[in-house]
């Protein structure tokens, strides 16, 4: 029973992180999501999701690059968005699962 509770907390923490990332990258940007990633909320959720330091840095770097790319695209709408090629992109693997569905592409 205890292991199920721990897995439930991990799943919830991952869902909070993913929803906050989605809110952050949405239009208009959600200021609460920005506060989440810049504050204690992300640290606590990442800890419960068993993300190591490198994974947290990779995720925050990826979000920063996505925001920057979106800003560049808005100021130059004729410029094509530079999305990573699946073959050449690095991967960020969520620590809980080690299967294809748990891999996020990182530019």
pLDDT value of position 43: 94
Q: What is the pTM of this model?
A: 0.63
| Residues 68/25, Cβ–Cβ less than 8 Å | no
| Measured distance CA(12)–CA(19) in Å, rounded | 10
Q: How many domains would you assign to the chain?
A: 1
- Per-residue pLDDT tens for 84-102? 454 544 444 444 444 444 4
Dihedral angle, C-alpha 84, 46, 99, 91, nearest 10 °: 20
- Per-residue pLDDT tens for 29-85? 778 888 899 889 999 999 999 999 999 999 999 999 888 887 766 655 555 545 445
Q: Which domain holds residue 88?
A: 2-106
Query: What 3-state DSSP class applies to 71?
Result: helix
| Measured distance CA(70)–CA(77) in Å, rounded | 10
């Amino acid at each position: 029973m205890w292991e199920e509770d721990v897995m439930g907390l991990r799943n919830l923490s991952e869902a909070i992180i993913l929803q906050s990332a989605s809110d952050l990258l949405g239009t208009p940007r959600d200021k609460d999501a920005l506060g989440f990633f810049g504050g204690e909320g992300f640290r606590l959720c990442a800890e419960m999701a068993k993300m190591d330091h490198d994974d947290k840095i990779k995720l925050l770097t990826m979000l920063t690059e996505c925001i920057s790319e979106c800003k560049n695209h808005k100021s130059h709408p004729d410029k094509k968005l530079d999305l990573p090629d699946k073959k050449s992109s690095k991967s960020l693997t969520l620590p809980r699962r080690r299967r294809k569905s748990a891999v996020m592409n990182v530019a």
